[in-house]
Each structure stands twice: as structure tokens, then as C-alpha cells.
């Protein structure tokens, strides 16, 4: 059985982390499969959005500690891992995570890298790296503070203690909390709703949202306007507005 299961429903691709013996620990091989799958989905016009999930008890409980332990300083310096994360981050289509159970360390970082997090009521988000004498190494100190703010981010990173799904919702890390048995289903429904929209508009909107953490407000507004202008040149924009005025569903072509 593959460690990354892949399933299609209409325009939604679901990728399931499947290393139950290692609580879905994200080793390099699994990250690479994830990056490969997302790159394949990027060039597949029939895929509108992707959902990443784990099992009902565990999303991903961290990186692979055995793998990490075997890497000394020079090996860590040239670890391909940052490139793998960068490939995952470059995925331009809407990326959702359906998180049940533990999303710890790299698992939490993967969830935070995604665009929308749906959390099961049994979900736990945490960055326990500090308890191992290390620290988050794939965005944990950066994306967490940007979504939940200083107080909670410092607390989580310096204590290593996890937060519950409800706390994650309140803090702005998760978009929604649902019963664990329904998390994936609801994430897929949400992804299906998103995937109906014009692909270029989704891509442009995602790019603009990403810039919010990279640029100043003035630069961000300028880039937003450029992307907005870009969409004016698409036929899907004509179709979208025409369909709205004619009170019919839009038929987007991705151009």
C-alpha cells in the first residue's frame, strides 16, 4: 500500500497521508511524494482544488525522528527537505487540509502551509520540537505567529504544548471545527465549492493572499490591482459576469 493515497471526486483531488505505523510522520520520501502529486495536480486542468488529510486519529505527528537523528550538521545543511517544502508551497491552486487528531511538528507546519484548515473536534495542533532540543524548521515559527499572534505563538513554540481544535479556531489557525467523523467530508465539500470557480481567478486570488505576508500594504494593494487587471483579460471573467446577470450557472473554461 502506498504511503500517499490519491483519490479524485470530480474536480477535487484528495491526498491521504498513509503511514499508520509511523503516525503519518512526514519523512523525506513522503514529502517528495506529496510534492510530486501536487505538481502533477498543478498541470492537470481537471483538478480545481486539493485536500490533504491523514487518518481519523492522526493527521501527521511530526517529521521522521530516526531520519533526522542520522543527519549531522553538514548533512542538515544540505538536506533536500527545504526544497521539498518549497515545492509544496508553490502549488498555485487552493490547498485545504482536513486535520483529525495530531498535527504536530511538521504535521502542524503542513497544515499551516495550506490555505484552509478544517479541524476535527479531536484535533491537536502543536510544535513540540523544543522538547527534543530542536526547533521548528519548516515554517513553524513564521506561519504560526502570523496566524495566531505573538502570545499564543511564543507559548506554543517555547513550551511545545499543543492546542485544541477550538483554541485553533479561536486563534485563527483553523477555519472551522467539525466532528472528526465529518472533517474530510466537509473539507471535500468546501473544496468542491471552491473548485467550481474560475481557475485563473482562484490562482490570482491565492497569489494575492500570499503576498499579504510578503509585502507592505501599499505594495500588496498594488499587486492586488495588477492581478485584478490581469483577470479582466480572461474569458472566464466575461462568462462569470454574464452568467450572474443572466441568472444561470457559469461555465468556466480556465482561460
Partner 1 sequence: MTFILSDVQNGVMTLTLNRPERLNSFNDEMHRQLAEALTQAERDDAIRCLLITGEGRAFCAGQDLNDRNVDPNGAAPDLGASVENFYNPLVRRLARLPKPVIAAVNGVAAGAGATLALGCDMVIAARSVNFIMSFSKLGLVPDCGGTWFLPRVAGRARAMGLTLLGEKLSAEQAHQWGMIWQVVDDEALIDTSRALAAHFASQPTFGLGLVKKALLASENNTLDAQLDLERDYQRIAGRSDDYREGVAAFLAKRPPVFKGK
- Counting contacts by CB under 8 A, is residue 86 touching partner 1? no
Contact 43, 223 (CB under 8 A): no
- Least Cβ distance, residue 83 to partner 1 (angstroms): 40
Q: Which residues contact 178 (CB under 8 A, 6 or more apart)?
A: 118, 119, 120, 121, 186
CA–CA separation, 64 and 247 (whole Å): 52
For residue 81 the three cell numbers come to 527537505
Strand order in the sheet with 102-104: 58-60, 102-104, 124-126, 163-164
Name the residue nearer to partner 1 (CB basis): 22 or 169: 169
- Counting contacts by CB under 8 A, is residue 80 touching partner 1? no
- Least Cβ distance, residue 185 to partner 1 (angstroms): 9
Choosing from 135, 181, 209, 212, the residue that interacts with partner 1 (CB under 8 A) is: 181
User: Residue 148 has what DSSP assignment?
Assistant: H
Q: Using the rule CB under 8 A, give the single segment among 83-91, 134-142, 178-186, 201-209 that binds partner 1.
A: 178-186
- Counting contacts by CB under 8 A, is residue 179 touching partner 1? yes
CA–CA separation, 27 and 23 (whole Å): 11
- Least Cβ distance, residue 64 to partner 1 (angstroms): 28
Choosing from 153, 178, 187, 201, the residue that interacts with partner 1 (CB under 8 A) is: 178
CA–CA separation, 194 and 48 (whole Å): 8
Choosing from 65, 132, 145, 182, the residue that interacts with partner 1 (CB under 8 A) is: 182
Binding mask 129-168 for partner 1 (x = CB under 8 A): ----------------------------------------
Q: How many CB atoms lie within 10 A of CB 145?
A: 16
Q: Which residues bind partner 1 (CB under 8 A)?
A: 178-179, 181-182
Amino acid at each position: 500500500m502506498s504511503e500517499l493515497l490519491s483519490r479524485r471526486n470530480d474536480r477535487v483531488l484528495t491526498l491521504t497521508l498513509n503511514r499508520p505505523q509511523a503516525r503519518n510522520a512526514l519523512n523525506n520520501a513522503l514529502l517528495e511524494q506529496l510534492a510530486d502529486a501536487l505538481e502533477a495536480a498543478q498541470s492537470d486542468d481537471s483538478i480545481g482544488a486539493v485536500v490533504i488529510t491523514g487518518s481519523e486519529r492522526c493527521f501527521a505527528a511530526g517529521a521522521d525522528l530516526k531520519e533526522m537523528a542520522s543527519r549531522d550538521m553538514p548533512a542538515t545543511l544540505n538536506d533536500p527537505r527545504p526544497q521539498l517544502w518549497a515545492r509544496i508551497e508553490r502549488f498555485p491552486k487552493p490547498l485545504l487540509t482536513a486535520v483529525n487528531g495530531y498535527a504536530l511538528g511538521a504535521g502542524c507546519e503542513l497544515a499551516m502551509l495550506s490555505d484552509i484548515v478544517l479541524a476535527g473536534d479531536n484535533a491537536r495542533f502543536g510544535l513540540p520540537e523544543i522538547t527534543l532540543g530542536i526547533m521548528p524548521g519548516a515554517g513553524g515559527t513564521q506561519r504560526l505567529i502570523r496566524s495566531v499572534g505573538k502570545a499564543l505563538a511564543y507559548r506554543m513554540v517555547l513550551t511545545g504544548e499543543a492546542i485544541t481544535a477550538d483554541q485553533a479556531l479561536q486563534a485563527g489557525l483553523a477555519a472551522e471545527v467539525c466532528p472528526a467523523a465529518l472533517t474530510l467530508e466537509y473539507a471535500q465539500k468546501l473544496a468542491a465549492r471552491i473548485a467550481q470557480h474560475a481557475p485563473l481567478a482562484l490562482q490570482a486570488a491565492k497569489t494575492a493572499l500570499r503576498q499579504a505576508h510578503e509585502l507592505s500594504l501599499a505594495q500588496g494593494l498594488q499587486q492586488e490591482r495588477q492581478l485584478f487587471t490581469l483577470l479582466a483579460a480572461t474569458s472566464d471573467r466575461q462568462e462569470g459576469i454574464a452568467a450572474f446577470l443572466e441568472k444561470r450557472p457559469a461555465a468556466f473554461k480556465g482561460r
